Amino acid sequence: MGEKKQHVYIIGSKGIPAKYGGFETFVEKLTEYQSNEKIQYHVACMAENSAKSGIDGPDFEYNGAKCFNVAVPNIGPARAIYYDIAALKQAIRLAEDNQDHQPIFYILACRIGPFIGKLKQQISNLNGKLFVNPDGHEWKREKWSYPVRRYWKHSERLMVKHADLLICDSQTIEKYIRNDYRRYHPKTTYIAYGTDLEKSKLTASSPTVQAWFTQKKVQPNNYYLVVGRFVPENNYETMIQEFMQSETKKDFVLITNVEQNKFYDRLKKQTQFDQDPRIKFVGTVYDQELLKYIRQQAFAYLHGHEVGGTNPSLLEALAMTKLNMLLDVGFNREVGEDRALYWQKEAGSLKNQIHEVEGNINRLFETTAPTNPIAERFCWDYVIDKYEEHLGG
């Protein structure tokens, strides 16, 4: 008889192979970097996501993980909730049929709190455990209406209440969970999100590099860069207004998707950024090698995210970009430490910082911390080792 496997069911990502997205990339890396052979991962995948990778049928193997497809009807905003519930029910059935020994069900994000009580009972009947990644402050996002925000907060509370362990990818989120929900005595741990530390394989003479810089009319080392979702809580309005008021001759390159975006139209009306030739919305970049190269060639990276846990785009910037200028909130400070500069949302803060860095750039690099915490705390090898300590049974 071989050694008993620890079966771990992962719910809440769109699935693997990963095309994009923070949780999808995490699941990809978790399975790719697996070193503990006692763990058997089972990954719920959205059927349409698998189809995009040319995979059909009810199940398949990828990176040693047993993946199962879940068909999700197109029912609007409630799709994600439907998907998580359907995936968890399917995972519980699989664990039951396989007679898994003390399975772990790891749910990414807090979408299904109102439904978790009954499902937790079924997990307990299997001698299983419920682990949850609470993600970030989803209930603070401006894109949600007030009733939806209330749902998110209520759902988060119930997920915290029923979880056997909450794995937080931000120390700020862990502190918030412990304080706001202390009546439930939540058991928490902190495991960071990871990032790729290898520099781009591309060079200045690579055709894709030359094509992109020529087409976008951008000069290497002559632009400030931002990469991220185009949503209000990432403080694009503040960054654009402050940049426009600055006297920098450099460009502001925004890698983000603004198609059919009401926020984009509102921002254009408020700031008239389209009148400033330095502001360049260049669309999205899915080629990861090219994106790394663009980060490496930026004069500085601007980061305005203030909702959510450890942000993948921030980790990538800290690993790749020479100078990082971050909004001064706990999420960003815990990652950037003394490797970055920090600005406030108050008028003039970022504008003045832009003038300051351009006037003192040599002295700035002399005084910036020489060691890179990204290499130690956020490399995928280290992150996955930490996960295996908790998931290995």
The domain that holds 179 is classified in CATH as 3.40.50.2000
Quick one: pLDDT at residue 185? 97
57 domain-assigned: yes
Q: Are residues 44 and 120 in the same domain?
A: yes
1 domain-assigned: no
Residue range of the domain that includes 316: 207-377
Quick one: pLDDT at residue 76? 84
How far is C-alpha 42 from the chain's CA centre?
21
- 88 to 231, 282, 391: CA distances (angstroms): 30, 39, 17
Q: Are residues 371 and 383 in the same domain?
A: no
Quick one: pLDDT at residue 312? 83
CB 70 within 8 A of CB 44: yes
Is residue 161's pLDDT more than 70? yes
Q: How many CB atoms lie within 10 A of CB 108?
A: 22
Q: Are residues 251 and 386 in the same domain?
A: no
Q: Are residues 167 and 47 in the same domain?
A: yes
Total number of domains in the chain: 2
The rounded radius of gyration (Å) of the Cα atoms in the chain is 22
Q: Are residues 228 and 93 in the same domain?
A: no
d(CA 45, CA 90): 11
Q: Are residues 63 and 148 in the same domain?
A: yes
Q: Are residues 109 and 257 in the same domain?
A: no
Is residue 103's pLDDT more than 80? yes
Q: Place 140 in a pLDDT band, splitting at 50, 70 and 90.
A: low
Is residue 230's pLDDT more than 80? yes
Q: Which of 13-17, 149-153, 213-217, 350-354 has the lowest mean pLDDT?
A: 149-153
Q: Work out the percent of the chain whose per-residue pLDDT is above 90.
A: 74
Quick one: pLDDT at residue 328? 95
202 domain-assigned: no
Q: Are residues 135 and 44 in the same domain?
A: yes
Quick one: pLDDT at residue 258? 87
- 46 to 75, 87, 346: CA distances (angstroms): 14, 9, 42
Task: For the chain, count helices (H), then strands (E).
Answer: 16, 14
Is residue 340's pLDDT more than 60? yes
85 domain-assigned: yes
189 domain-assigned: yes
Q: Place 260 in a pLDDT band, splitting at 50, 70 and 90.
A: low
d(CA 77, CA 138): 14
Residue type, 352: N
201 domain-assigned: no
Q: Are residues 182 and 33 in the same domain?
A: yes
Over range 290-319, report the average pLDDT. Answer: 89
199 domain-assigned: no
The SS3 of residue 377 is helix
Q: Are residues 157 and 280 in the same domain?
A: no
Q: Place 370 in a pLDDT band, splitting at 50, 70 and 90.
A: very low
Over range 282-303, report the average pLDDT. Answer: 95
- Would strands 251-255 and 279-283 be described as parallel, antiparallel, or unpaired? parallel
Average pLDDT over the chain, rounded to an integer: 91
200 domain-assigned: no
Q: Are residues 167 and 228 in the same domain?
A: no
Quick one: pLDDT at residue 1? 44
Give the Cα-Cα-Cα angle 144, 262, 303 (nearest 5 degrees). 75
Q: Are residues 152 and 235 in the same domain?
A: no
Nearest to 9 by CA among 55, 48, 65: 65
